[in-house]
Amino acid sequence: MKHSSELSVLDSFASLANEEEAELSLSNGSRVAVVGGGPAGSFFSFFLLKMAAAVDLQIEVDIYDPRSFAHCGPAGCNHCGGIVSESLVQILATEGINLPESVVQRGIESYLVHMDVGSVAIQNQAGEQRIAALYRGNGPREGGESRWESFDGYLQALAKKKGARVLHQLITNIHWRKGYPCLQFADQKEARYDLIAVASGVNSNFLRLLEDMPAGFEPPRTTRAYVCEFKSTEAEILRILGNSVHVYLLPIPRLEFAAIIPKGEFATVVMLGDDLDQELVHTFLNDPAVGASFPSNAVPCVCSCSPLINMGARKRPYADRMVLVGDSGVTRLYKDGIGAAFRTAKAAASTAVFQGISEQTFRKNFWPACQTITKDNAIGRFMFGTTGILKRFRFLRCVILRMAAREQAHTSRKPHMSSLLWNMFTGSAPYTEIFVGALHPGFIGNLTLNFVANMWPGKKRKEVS
């Protein structure tokens, strides 16, 4: 049994801890700053204000971002392929956010997989357009007057409508004063906040500033990608690319993956690989498989960039009064980064409103949502690793093509390979689910059959088209 004086000491420590914990929560009049007004920042602000309103909590939210999404070209763009995944489109609709015609440039119906051994179109099984191709900013440099708006601008407007203030200022530094985070601006002025959500992505220096903080955040691992825009006419882009994203699995050294995405009068080329340089870009664009599927009269590279892509967080993305959402914290490997920004931003917002803003609270309530993504990424890493094997063996590419083509031609068959390719390329399902699908006896059986059939010389010519 504990002595009574011992009890009172323990009790007072406990109540002190509770008081501290109680202080580390949002209350009426609390001020929240969001560094970065991309998807993660806007989703965070939108949900924070929506949830706060639901429990009559009055808070102020300031979104800081120097970028204006009304600008054409890189100045108004958060460099990306511009695909909003099937799963995110459905979830947004459930949340009451229906992407409008002014933002969606093309509703995607199918993915065309091009390999050196042939091409196959994988149709959306839902039989409808549930993937959006859009521009994050106001379109490429050569865009001129356009009837479309920026996706990031649209999300920011949603957050504004909920009551967020958007301030076009760059945050140049961050420090702690009496336990509160303070943001510093270019003119050296400072502002103190109760909570800071970092949504600066990985394409600015902001995360480096966090390395010196007590929590010692390390920026995520990154690699460079390449994005360029080809200009043609709307009719020509539609004629050649259709409502399809074209993905390329070609045995070109250093090139992991490439895609061409149709949008209005432009086509966006996205490339991922090791040491992407002009030589590799040219090799890809001159490949016969690319030439056959690409607008012949397009003006090449009217706008291009080499943005960084998040390849994995190194540190837990939270501290007392601070949380990192979207690319600056944890994101999905290669696919559906905007969907991951939505998930982490919403998890952080609900933690802040309903649970608190201490490190401990974020660990308990926000971190599990991040962990779901990081664990799934581990499987994803393995699955993308297998594309290396695929690139090495032409025979395997033929088997995959044959199996997918036959499934697409005979819709009564269970689409084992088509589902795998669809989910891998569109990012519509978690990698774990795709992996489990690949272990299905039906998948393995069909793969084996196609393997054997592909060795039959006469049949091989007939089946692969």
Ligand X SMILES: Cc1cc2nc3c(=O)[nH]c(=O)nc-3n(C[C@H](O)[C@H](O)[C@H](O)COP(=O)(O)OP(=O)(O)OC[C@H]3O[C@@H](n4cnc5c(N)ncnc54)[C@H](O)[C@@H]3O)c2cc1C
Q: What are phi and psi of 285, to 5 degrees?
A: -65, -25
Binding piece for other proteins, criterion CB under 8 A, among 28-36, 66-74, 97-105, 450-458: 97-105
Closest distance of CB 91 from other proteins, Å = 5
Show the DSSP H helices in 55-110 as ranges: 86-94
Residue pair 36/199 in contact by the 8 Å Cβ criterion: yes
CA–CA separation, 110 vs 195, rounded Å? 43
CA–CA separation, 126 vs 103, rounded Å? 22
Which listed residue (53, 75, 91, 182) binds other proteins by CB under 8 A?
91
Residue 129 CB neighbour total at 10 angstroms: 17
HSE (CB half, 13 Å, CA atoms) of 406?
Answer: 21
80 scored as a contact of ligand X (CB under 6 A): yes
216: left (phi over 0), alpha (psi -120 to 50) or beta: left
Closest distance of CB 268 from ligand X, Å = 9
The item of other proteins, ligand X, none sharing an interface with residue 39, based on CB under 5 to 8 Å by kind, is ligand X
309 scored as a contact of ligand X (CB under 6 A): yes
The vertex-327 CA angle with 267 and 367, nearest 5°, equals 145
343 scored as a contact of other proteins (CB under 8 A): yes
Closest distance of CB 283 from ligand X, Å = 18
Helix (H) or strand (E) holding 283: helix 278-285
CA–CA separation, 136 vs 139, rounded Å? 7
Which listed residue (24, 46, 82, 197) binds ligand X by CB under 6 A?
82
155 scored as a contact of other proteins (CB under 8 A): no
Which listed residue (10, 17, 100, 175) binds other proteins by CB under 8 A?
100
Which listed residue (140, 153, 317, 337) binds ligand X by CB under 6 A?
337
The item of ligand X, other proteins, none sharing an interface with residue 156, based on CB under 5 to 8 Å by kind, is none
CB nearer to ligand X: pick between 295 and 339: 339
The item of other proteins, ligand X, none sharing an interface with residue 81, based on CB under 5 to 8 Å by kind, is ligand X
Residue pair 262/250 in contact by the 8 Å Cβ criterion: no
Residue from 62, 76, 357, 322 nearest 217 by CA: 322
CA–CA separation, 255 vs 282, rounded Å? 11
424 scored as a contact of ligand X (CB under 6 A): no
Which listed residue (48, 260, 347, 417) binds other proteins by CB under 8 A?
347
The item of ligand X, other proteins, none sharing an interface with residue 93, based on CB under 5 to 8 Å by kind, is other proteins
Binding piece for other proteins, criterion CB under 8 A, among 73-81, 82-90, 212-220, 229-237: 82-90
143 scored as a contact of ligand X (CB under 6 A): no
Q: Length of the chain in residues, anyone? A: 465
Looking at residue 341, its amino acid is A
Residue from 307, 309, 311 nearest 373 by CA: 311
310: left (phi over 0), alpha (psi -120 to 50) or beta: beta
Which listed residue (49, 72, 89, 171) binds ligand X by CB under 6 A?
171
Which listed residue (26, 35, 57, 104) binds other proteins by CB under 8 A?
104
Binding piece for other proteins, criterion CB under 8 A, among 12-20, 84-92, 218-226, 440-448: 84-92
Distance (Å) of CA 205 to CA 211, 218, 318, 386, 405: 11, 12, 18, 33, 46
225 scored as a contact of ligand X (CB under 6 A): yes
* Strand ranges of the sheet holding 322-324, from the earlier edge strand across to the other edge: 165-167, 60-64, 31-35, 195-198, 322-324, 318-319
Residue from 244, 151, 185, 205 nearest 33 by CA: 185
443 scored as a contact of ligand X (CB under 6 A): no
Tokens for 72, please give them. 């054409």
Residue pair 350/46 in contact by the 8 Å Cβ criterion: no
Annotate each residue in 215-254 with x if it binds other proteins (CB under 8 A) or - if it does not, as one string.
----------------------------------------
Which listed residue (24, 26, 32, 41) binds ligand X by CB under 6 A?
41
The item of other proteins, ligand X, none sharing an interface with residue 149, based on CB under 5 to 8 Å by kind, is none
5 scored as a contact of other proteins (CB under 8 A): no
Show the DSSP H helices in 163-221 as ranges: 206-209
- Size, binding site for ligand X by CB under 6 A: 40
Binding piece for other proteins, criterion CB under 8 A, among 101-109, 184-192, 445-453, 455-463: 101-109
Contacts to ligand X from residues 181-200, by CB under 6 A: 199-200
HSE (CB half, 13 Å, CA atoms) of 296?
Answer: 2
Burial class for 453, CB neighbours closer than 10 Å (0-12, 13-18, 19+): middle
The item of ligand X, other proteins, none sharing an interface with residue 347, based on CB under 5 to 8 Å by kind, is other proteins
For ligand X, the binding residues (CB under 6 A) are: 35-41, 64-67, 78-83, 85, 170-171, 199-201, 203-204, 206, 225, 227, 270, 307, 309, 326-328, 331, 336-339, 341
For other proteins, the binding residues (CB under 8 A) are: 51, 54, 86-87, 89-91, 93-96, 98-101, 103-104, 107, 126-132, 343, 346-347, 350, 369, 372, 428, 430
